[in-house]
Structure 1
């Protein structure tokens, strides 16, 4: 894989987003809450008069809601025609992928296996390659588990 990658931190882990999927990196301004939205949806914000759903990636991963430092910037991505601003702990850099995605090592947890396509080597070290559609649907809930089990 020689694609360009946007490197971010989520829950203390280095993650990669394929740069071709990133429309821009923005400063998060005002985030308006959305009543009755799942907790991983921080709210909505605007980019050039376009509404963006703001996803708190830590909560979307099913990680604890303890306070982490959060970057004031967000990566704007489009998935299935909808635009999202991904709140992450930090936006690091852009680099090149040096390998194809491989298996995620044990100990990372099921949430990372669900939302990442694998571990890749990059110009600044190993990272989890995020699967954006899997990330933006949020963590599995007991309701969705029961539906799938039926």
Structure 2
């Protein structure tokens, strides 16, 4: 099966997200914090007169806080009719990737393992295929 994947970098790791789940890629000008929000929610931002909940992918994957120096890029996804922006270090490419995701056999940290759907191969390297809904849900401890 061939499917388009968006390839992005999070914490130095290149990952893939199904392009079907992606609405757009945007640069975020300002993030307004939300008091008492879960730790992986960076805040809110405006996107074409709509509210976008910004998810700190580093925090969602239990990697600390994402750096917010310079240009802030986000992958916009819709989950349960709500817009979310997943913060990424960089959007690398969009690629047609052939084959079903392979089962993960290697030990991953709990955050990556929770968000991963499997491995896909692109240009002779393995990429984690991430589920945006699991990133939005946050770390397992927050989701439980």
For normalisation by structure 1, the TM-score amounts to: 0.86
Partner SS state of residue 107, structure 1: coil
Q: Any runs of at least 4 consecutive aligned residues in structure 1 with deviations exceeding 6 A, and if so which?
A: none
Other-structure match for 1:92 = 92
| Cα 1:48–1:65 shift into 2, 3 Å | closer
Corresponding residue pairs, total: 144
Q: How far, CA to CA, are the matches of 1:142 and 1:81 in structure 2?
A: 21
Q: How far, CA to CA, are the matches of 2:122 and 2:79 in structure 1?
A: 24
Aligned alpha-carbon RMSD (Å): 2.1
Deviation at 1:34, TM superposition (A): 0.4
| Cα 1:46–1:67 shift into 2, 3 Å | closer
| Cα 1:11–1:124 shift into 2, 3 Å | same
Q: How far, CA to CA, are the matches of 2:14 and 2:41 in structure 1?
A: 21
Deviations 1:13-37 (A, max 9, x none): 2111111111111111111110111
Deviations 1:71-119 (A, max 9, x none): 5221110011111011012111111112211122413222222111101
Q: Unaligned 5+ residue runs, structure 1?
A: 145-150
For normalisation by structure 2, the TM-score amounts to: 0.89
Deviation at 1:67, TM superposition (A): 4.7
Which protein is richer in strand relative to its size? 2
| Cα 1:67–1:83 shift into 2, 3 Å | closer
Other-structure match for 2:118 = 118
Q: Unaligned 5+ residue runs, structure 2?
A: none
Q: How far, CA to CA, are the matches of 1:132 and 1:142 in structure 2?
A: 16
Q: How far, CA to CA, are the matches of 1:39 and 1:16 in structure 2?
A: 24
